[in-house]
Amino acid sequence: MIKVCKFGGTSMADGMTMLRVKEIVERDPARRYVVVSAPGKRYSGDYKVTDLLYETDRDVKEGGHVGEAYAKIADRFRSIGKELGLSLDVSALLEETARAIEKRRSRDFTASRGEYLTGRIMAELLGVPFLDGAEVIRFRQGRLAEEETDRLLRAALKGKPRAVVAGFYGADEEGNVVTFSRGGSDVSGAVVARAAGAELYENWTDVSGFLACDPHIVAGPKQIKSLSYKELRELSYMGANVLHSEAIFPVREAGIPVRILNTFRPEDEGTLIVPSARYEYGDLPVTGIAGKKDFTVVFLEKSLMNAEIGFAHKVLTVLRRHGVSFEHMPSGIDTMSFVIDSAELGGGVLEEIEREIEEAVSPDSLRVFGGIALIAVVGHGMSSKVGIAARLFSAIARAGVNVRMIDQGSSELNIIVGVENEQYERTVRAIYEEFFREG
């Protein structure tokens, strides 16, 4: 039996938490491969090492040298080294890392050093070999090269009954370090689980599993005992950041279940994420709620649009020309809308797109709504129960919220609604009350 364990930033926050991690790992001999993040926040208002590394990158590009941000990072790692009483010379390692950052001047390389240093320390603490992400995780054209990574990892793990792997980064063919997007150590953990042929991928964090919605919005939401890969994908893509939205692919392919566990309450059962076929429906129609703010909806209307060959193609060509992707495309007989992350539309791009769409398809009307939040209500149980949509929309209406967009899409396990940013939290609470509050 092999388990791969990934520990997130809060689990790596200081020497004390690292000792907890050591205890967790050593309690179960199946926990053979450990993937680590960089130290996260120790308390609210604290900084994450990765954020300071992005600041360090700016310092180096402006002044040629690491600055105050790096000094904070160095303090943090030195005190971890002291707390743990390691024989590893942490100061020398930090010095060497600073020089490498100044020499390479690469944003991704700099950002990756949090996981690199943490990996070195954890390997020493556990007394097992360290595997550098750059040696075992391969990127091509900025994307994870799954097959190649799998081969490299298998070769590296062979003959190593245990190891610590640095999360969050790999390297391209030329050896340049490339990182995943933020929270990407979850993806590293998933590729290691796949290559190791693990029976379970344990993802250790600071909550006792996936909650039915963001705990910052609803106090003490219900915990989800079990989720399917598909539900996880929908929820994490739509903003439930517990697990990176791309972490699911490597494990899904190999059918490896994922368990979300709490480093600070290791006895809690957590949430088990399993292939959809093995998934047993709970008695609630909705499994979870997630959402994100700051979308823009571009709404087009034109009589007989449906009969106009190539209409959608012409609009999509405009988006493509600007390198803009869209999240959803709800459409009707004579209407079509595109839901786009507002961050993609800054610097005059939106205005240009509007003008070019007018030119390309001469719509009867073209309207743009900014400041839209999307909320996904997800659950396999939704498709088999009548009246879920009715309950959803009347709950939203009762809360006095106006729905700006609906996308029931082709996926039968979710309904997405768009509301004004300002109404986001209120809407999530109303939906939660409707589907989860007992009595």
Q: Which residues bind ligand ADP (CB under 6 A)?
A: 8-10, 37, 40, 183, 205-207, 210-211, 213-215, 240-242
DSSP 8-state secondary structure symbol assigned to residue 287: -
Count of other CB atoms within 10 angstroms of residue 217: 16
C-beta separation of 88 from 78 below 8 A: no
Amino acid at 140: R
Q: Name the phi and psi angles at 182, rounded to 5.
A: -55, 140
Separation of alpha carbons 428 and 290, rounded Å: 8
Q: Residue 240 touches which of ligand ASP, Mg ion, ligand ADP, none (CB < 5 to 8 A by kind)? A: ligand ADP
DSSP 8-state secondary structure symbol assigned to residue 9: G
Residue showing the smallest CB distance to ligand ASP in the complex: 185
C-beta separation of 191 from 146 below 8 A: yes
Options 128-136, 184-192, 346-354, 398-406: segment touching ligand ASP (CB under 6 A)? 184-192
Tell me the pairing of strands 335-341 and 365-378: unpaired
Question: What is the distance, to the nearest Å, from the Cα of residue 247 to the centroid of all Cα atoms in its chain?
Answer: 8
Whole-number minimum distance, CB 271 to ligand ADP, in Å? 8
Whole-number minimum distance, CB 6 to ligand ADP, in Å? 8
State yes or no: residue 167 binds ligand ASP (CB under 6 A).
Answer: yes
Whole-number minimum distance, CB 142 to ligand ADP, in Å? 22
Residues 8-47 that bind Mg ion (CB under 5 A): 8
Q: Which of 119, 183, 221, 418 binds ligand ASP (CB under 6 A)?
A: 183
Of residues 247 and 388, the one with the C-beta less far from ligand ASP:
247
Residues 173-192 that bind Mg ion (CB under 5 A): 183
430 sits in which H/E element: helix 424-436
Alpha-carbon separation of residue 163 from 28, 110, 133, 192, 379 (angstroms): 14, 23, 12, 11, 37
Of residues 8 and 291, the one with the C-beta less far from ligand ASP:
8
Q: Which of 170, 184, 250, 288 binds ligand ASP (CB under 6 A)?
A: 184
Options 179-187, 220-228, 360-368, 415-423: segment touching ligand ASP (CB under 6 A)? 179-187
In residues, how long is the chain? Answer: 439
Alpha-carbon separation of residue 378 from 226, 310, 338, 388, 390 (angstroms): 13, 33, 21, 11, 15
Whole-number minimum distance, CB 106 to ligand ADP, in Å? 24
Tell me the pairing of strands 3-7 and 200-205: parallel
Give the x-and-dash track for 27-66 against ligand ASP (CB under 6 A).
----------xx---------x-x----------------
Of residues 291 and 363, the one with the C-beta less far from ligand ADP:
291
Contacting positions for Mg ion (CB under 5 A): 8, 183
Contacting positions for ligand ASP (CB under 6 A): 8-9, 37-38, 48, 50, 114, 167-168, 182-186
